[in-house]
Amino acid sequence: QESKQEPRPGPARVELRPLGSLVPASYNPRKITKAARERLRASLEKFGLASSLTWNERTGSLVGGHQRAGVLQELLGAEAEVPVSIVDLSEEDEKALNVTLNRADLAGTFDADALAALLAELPEDLAEDLRLEDLPGWSRDEAVDLAEMIASEPEWTGETTDEDREALAERL
């Protein structure tokens, strides 16, 4: 006898929603420093909202993009409409998605050569000597940290070692 599994929710749909209607999730574990908030503001002013916020219609909570939503509301006001990816999830799945959306390790890592090539392609008018910290959203300390991280990061071989698993377990 086959067991029937409930189908997974379909892909999110995107709609315009007023910023003031997006209620932040009370459990959201993310925080932002004043300096990082200013860099986020500069990035949003330069590039706009490049990826939508995520909102759960079942619970009425913002799932992803709390910091961006806050800064956008300061810049544009509560009535401004922004693109929102709308999901329909249980509260448990919503919380899991919140954590998943905010895991930096799921975004991958930088390839030093590819990053250097990409930065070399950017217009020189962004800064006299183009440096990562001159781009909106980056501080000098973060640029230095990134350079050090790239230099010390071993290239992934496609295999997960026990050491990799232990390192991940320590972060969880």
- Rounded CA separation 21/37 (Å): 21
Task: Report if pTM > 0.85.
Answer: no
Question: Residue 111 — pLDDT band, cuts 50, 70, 90?
Answer: confident
SS3 6: coil
Strand-strand pairing, 23-24 and 61-64: parallel
AA identity, residue 88? D
Q: How far apart are the first and last CA of the chain?
A: 38
59 pLDDT higher than 60: yes
Q: What residues does 14 pair with on adjacent strands?
A: 85
Burial (0-12, 13-18, 19+ Cβ within 10 Å), 99: middle
Tell me which of 141 and 20 has the higher pLDDT.
20
